Amino acid sequence: MRVALPGRADGSAIELFDVRWLEEEPAGWRAFQALAGRLGIGLGWHYLLDLIWITRNLGPVPGLTILDAGAGLGVLQWWLAERGARVISVDRQDRSDLPGRFRLRYRVSGLRATDLKPLAAQVANRWGDASRGPGKRVAAIVRSLGSAGLVLLTPKAEGRIWLYRADLADLRDVESESVDAVVSLSALEHNPPDVLAQIVPELLRVLKPGGVLLATLAAAEGADWYHEPSRGWCYSEESLRRCFGLPHDVASNYGSYAEYFARLTASEVLRDNLPAHYFQSGDNGMPWGIWDPKYMPVGVRVTKPAAAAEGEAPPGAEVS
């Protein structure tokens, strides 16, 4: 089933998510849930919807080069690699000491030498840890060597991942028009609107003509506002159009915000599958596991044209 709203022929759209997708694709969201469990990854309360929307709009991925913007250690990059994609995984955080459970299952490299420590360096770090006594250091290095052996010998997923530590507004090590698609799972919302407007053109720069940018974010029914528990911005429709360079003929269902939000808050699937980490703290987007959504998740799809038409604003430019 096609998710993107009807509108322009290129499929560009702004779409509030519909919880009825979870009823349509129970096997799909349960597969994401299972993968996250195997990898020890905590999902956001609405990520099952985000993942369904991205993967439906993305289509088959074997052989594609996909940039995951703001990936962290999130589940999407690993799902893509398992399906044969080549993933450039970008984040500001340092992931050079990547845990062994990821190295064990996936072909992971650093885009630059500093982006991922070699296995030997991890083993050496265990030995040089001054906080451990000699006996504990020997035990740690034996465990590390065993893990390193498993990493080297275990068959890996078909795809490949390159970790890249960078600001999303400056992807200088990624060539222009070099990736088939850009995806971003609930990451861009951690930037205020003025910064988001600087990031989008850079994401579109590295995207091939005809390629698609798929980003999930948080939606505000009215004006932009900052959701402190999740440390993210909720964007108005106008802000999303301005930041992503989408004119007013690009389809949007923001006019039905109240209807979609009512269905979201009544969702038994999301409520009953609220990840365990929400029950362990009051400092998160769903404090102490109390089901109380404050905003709608939204997806923005932008298709990069082969060339801008004469007089047309380029993608990422502000529209009035």
The set of residues, in sequence order, having a beta carbon less than 8 Å from that of 317 and lying 6+ positions away, is: 201, 245
Written as six digits, the tokens of 229 are 């528990």
- CA torsion 127-128-133-137 (nearest 10°) is -10
Examine the pLDDT at 148 and tell me if it is beyond 80.
no
Is residue 68 classed as helix, strand or coil in its secondary structure?
A: strand
**What pLDDT, on a 0 to 100 scale, did the predictor assign at position 1?**
40
**What pLDDT, on a 0 to 100 scale, did the predictor assign at position 29?**
94
**What pLDDT, on a 0 to 100 scale, did the predictor assign at position 119?**
78
Examine the pLDDT at 114 and tell me if it is beyond 60.
yes
Please write the tens of the pLDDT for every residue from 277-306.
999 998 888 999 999 999 999 999 999 998
The pTM assigned to this predicted structure is 0.86
Residue 287: other Cβ atoms inside 10 A: 13
Yes or no: say if 303 and 212 are a contact pair by the CB < 8 Å rule.
yes
**What pLDDT, on a 0 to 100 scale, did the predictor assign at position 31?**
96
**What pLDDT, on a 0 to 100 scale, did the predictor assign at position 173?**
98
- Give the C-alpha distances (Å, rounded to integers) separating 94 from 32, 97, 115, 317: 25, 8, 8, 31
**Range scoring the smallest mean pLDDT among 5-19, 157-171, 247-261, 301-315:** 301-315
User: Does residue 106 come out as left (phi exceeding 0), alpha (psi in the -120 to 50 range) or beta?
Assistant: beta
Please write the tens of the pLDDT for every residue from 55-113.
999 999 999 999 999 999 999 999 999 999 999 999 999 999 999 999 999 999 999 99
Please write the tens of the pLDDT for every residue from 168-205.
999 999 999 999 999 999 999 999 999 999 999 999 99
**What pLDDT, on a 0 to 100 scale, did the predictor assign at position 307?**
67
Residue 162 CA to residue 231 CA, distance in Å, equals: 27
Examine the pLDDT at 151 and tell me if it is beyond 80.
no
Please write the tens of the pLDDT for every residue from 118-129.
977 656 565 555
Residue 233 CA to residue 298 CA, distance in Å, equals: 12
Examine the pLDDT at 2 and tell me if it is beyond 80.
no
Residue 218 CA to residue 17 CA, distance in Å, equals: 10
Residue 108 CA to residue 277 CA, distance in Å, equals: 27
Please write the tens of the pLDDT for every residue from 17-59.
999 999 998 999 999 999 999 999 999 999 999 999 999 999 9
Residue 181 CA to residue 183 CA, distance in Å, equals: 7
Examine the pLDDT at 163 and tell me if it is beyond 70.
yes
The whole-chain average pLDDT of the chain stands at: 88
